[in-house]
A and B are shown apart, each in its own frame.
Chain A
Amino acid sequence: MPVDHRRLCGPEESHAPALWAAEEGGDESPRDPWALRPLFARAAVLSQADGSAYVELSGGTKVLCAAWGPREAPEPPTAAAAAAALRMGRLQCDFRRAPFASRGARRRPGSTAERDAERDLAAALRTALEPTLQLERYPRTRLLVSVLLLQDEGSVLAAAISAGALALADSGVQMYDLAVGCALCRGPDPSAAWVLQPGEAEERRAAVRLTVALLPALNQVSAVQGAGSGGTPEDWAEALCFGLDACYRLYPVLRQSLLQATCRRRRAM
Chain B
Amino acid sequence: MAEAFKTVEPLEYYRRFLKENCRPDGRELGEFRTTTVNIGSITTADGSALVKFGNTTVICGVKAELATPTKDSANKGYIVPNVELPSLCSPRFRSGPPGEEAQAASQFIADVIENSQIIEKEDLCIANGKLVWVLYCDIICMDYDGNLLDASAFALLAALKNVQLPSVTINEETGLSEVNFKQKNPLMIRKHPVATSFAIFDDTLLIVDPNAEEEDLATGTVTVVTDEEDRLCSVHKPGGSPLTGAKLQDCITRAITRQREVKKLIDKVINSIKPK
Contact = CB atoms under 8 A, between A and B. Distances in A.
Contact of A48 (B67, B90, B140): B90
Contacts of A148: 86, 88, 140, 142
B122 to A, nearest CB: 16
A27 to B, nearest CB: 14
B89 interface: yes
Given A21-B179, A98-B140, A100-B62, A15 B98 contact: no
B43 interface: yes
Interface in A224-244: none
Q: Is the interface of A mostly helix, strand, loop or mixed?
A: loop
Which one of B45, B67, B102 has the highest number of Cβ atoms from chain A below 10 Å of its Cβ? B45
B178 A20 contact: yes
B44 A68 contact: no
B65 A20 contact: no
Contact of B168 (A10, A17, A103, A106): A17
A45 B102 CA distance: 23
Contacts of B138: 98-100, 106, 109
A17 B55 contact: no
Contacts of B145: 47-48
Interface residues of A, number: 49
Interface residues of B, number: 53
Given A46-B143, A48-B144, A15 B67 contact: yes
Contacts of B45: 100
Contacts of A153: 44
Contacts of A189: none
Given A11-B78, A14-B134, A146 B67 contact: no
B2 interface: no
Interface stretch (A31-39, A59-67, A83-91, A258-266): A59-67
A175 interface: no
A150 interface: yes
Contacts of B48: 100
B152 to A, nearest CB: 13
Interface in B253-274: none
A7 to B, nearest CB: 5
A106 B42 CA distance: 13
B44 A146 contact: no
A24 B180 CA distance: 11
A149 to B, nearest CB: 10
Interface in A144-159: 144, 146-148, 150-153
Contact of A150 (B59, B90, B103): B59
A158 to B, nearest CB: 18
A10 B144 CA distance: 26
Contacts of B98: 6-7
Contacts of A109: 82, 84, 138
Nearest to A93: B95
B88 A20 contact: no
A109 B142 CA distance: 16
Contacts of B181: 17-18, 21, 24
B88 A17 contact: no
A116 to B, nearest CB: 14
Contact of A64 (B65, B87, B142, B168): B142
A17 B166 contact: yes
Contacts of A49: 88, 91
B104 to A, nearest CB: 11
A10 B136 contact: yes
Contact of A147 (B78, B88, B168): B88
A62 B110 CA distance: 28
Contact of B91 (A7, A68, A110): A68
A192 interface: no
A6 B68 CA distance: 23
B134 A100 contact: no
Contact of A18 (B57, B87, B91, B179): B179
Interface string A4-29: 10111111011111101110100000
B176 interface: yes
Which one of B59, B65, B168, B180 has the highest number of Cβ atoms from chain A below 10 Å of its Cβ? B65
Contacts of A47: 55, 143, 145
A65 B89 CA distance: 10
A-B residue pairs, 7 tightest by C-beta: A100-B61, A10-B80, A14-B67, A47-B55, A100-B45, A14-B65, A146-B88
19 contacts: A6-B102, A6-B103, A8-B106, A10-B136, A17-B66, A17-B181, A21-B178, A22-B178, A24-B181, A46-B143, A47-B55, A48-B144, A66-B88, A66-B89, A94-B95, A96-B95, A98-B42, A98-B140, A144-B87
